[in-house]
Amino acid sequence: MDTITLLQHYWWLIISLLGALLVFLMFVQGGQALLYTIGRTEEERNMLVNSLGRKWEFTFTTLVTFGGAFFASFPLFYSTSFGGAFYVWMAILLCFVIQAVAYEYRRKPGNVFGERTFNAFLLVNGVLGPLLIGTAVGTFFTGAEFTVDRLNLANQGGAAVISQWATPWHGLEAVAEWRNVLLGLSVTLLAMTLACQYFMNNIDDEAIFRRAARRMRTFAVLFVACFVAWLLALVLADGWAVDAAGTVSVEPYKYLHNLVEMPYVAAALLIGMELLALGTWMYMKSTLGSGPRDALMVVLARKTHRTVGLCRAAVEVVIVFIGWRLGGQVGIGTIVAAVGVGSLFNLNFGLLRFNPALLHQENLPETLQRFRGRKTIT
């Protein structure tokens, strides 16, 4: 593998991890979107907002880092997308600016706009933030209209720019592509699903728990339906291919061809991840103790009040990094498994109404006492 290819794989690994982390952290946006759905009274809404607290800063920082990684790794893409499609990126930035203002001034004394105004800001960010980000990311697969001409650097009579956007909408045309919007809707539904699980784990209120549990199942099913529909639309669409000479052309069913070339690997990876999630549920439900990774996942979920899926993904990423530093091989399956297993844990545990962070696991003395008939664990 040459140096250029190695660096491309390295930076795609970094960007993939940042993108996955950003999706996990969007539970903040999902919680804001459910502010009036789960919170029926002013007191309950204050509980929801206080629970989200300063965690919105992590999401915004990760988003900025995600964009900065593109600047460091693929500067031409960065200058083309962020410089050409600036309308959609400015709309995303505006959503997060009003979010920061809302958290800062919502409960300030002398608030002339009223608390409801800033609640509306949070609601706008909660819905439009994930929707626009998912729509923008969708253009990575469906493409965008722009031109690239390196000879422009020698143009002395005009602007010496390599790339130019080809439409006057400057990124907003992505909304006209239904596949982009479908991915944005999938991201929004996933954020709401994660938010429900977060509220169930972080707020000690029976009414909020019941509403969050009921809506979590609905949002989880809708997310799976939308994401599967987007995935089917993607594999049946045309894609961009590069031949050995470096020529870029449109290839029908490009993404489907990619999957056909590696069917057993893709199937084995997805089935194995799903079986891992179900197997974890089955053995942890026995309350006979957790495995090393699962025990660490549960402790992190209890200490940080994050979802078990996010904590499991964090554990897996750290283990991948340590293994890589020790000389282990990191492939695409390693990345997908490390990042995707957390989402599968959240989805399966939510549908099964199972929260391992709230479940008591027996230690060895308790198990021995129970087997001897001296103590009954309920």
Where are the domains positioned within the chain?
A: 1-253, 262-378
Per-residue model confidence (pLDDT) at position 58: 87
Per-residue model confidence (pLDDT) at position 134: 92
Q: Which of 360, 357, 370 is nearest to 287 (CA)?
A: 360
Residues of the chain predicted below pLDDT 50: 374-378
Per-residue model confidence (pLDDT) at position 152: 67
Per-residue model confidence (pLDDT) at position 99: 92
Per-residue model confidence (pLDDT) at position 375: 43
Q: Is 162 exposed, middle or buried (0-12, 13-18, 19+ CB in 10 A)?
A: middle
List pLDDT tens digits, range 284-338.
Answer: 565 666 667 777 877 888 888 777 778 878 888 888 888 888 887 776 667 777 7
∠234-236-237 over CA atoms, to 5°?
Answer: 65
The total of other beta-carbon atoms located within 10 Å of residue 39's CB is 21
Residue 148's SS3 state is: strand
Per-residue model confidence (pLDDT) at position 142: 84
∠59-62-63 over CA atoms, to 5°?
Answer: 85
Query: Between 75-84 and 56-73, two packed helices, what is the crossing angle to 10 degrees?
Result: 120
Per-residue model confidence (pLDDT) at position 181: 94
- Determine the distance from the C-alpha atom of residue 298 to the mean position of all C-alpha atoms in its chain, rounded to a whole number: 20
Per-residue model confidence (pLDDT) at position 328: 78
The total of other beta-carbon atoms located within 10 Å of residue 111's CB is 12
Name the pTM for this structure: 0.69
Tokens linked to 142: 């469906």
Per-residue model confidence (pLDDT) at position 48: 92
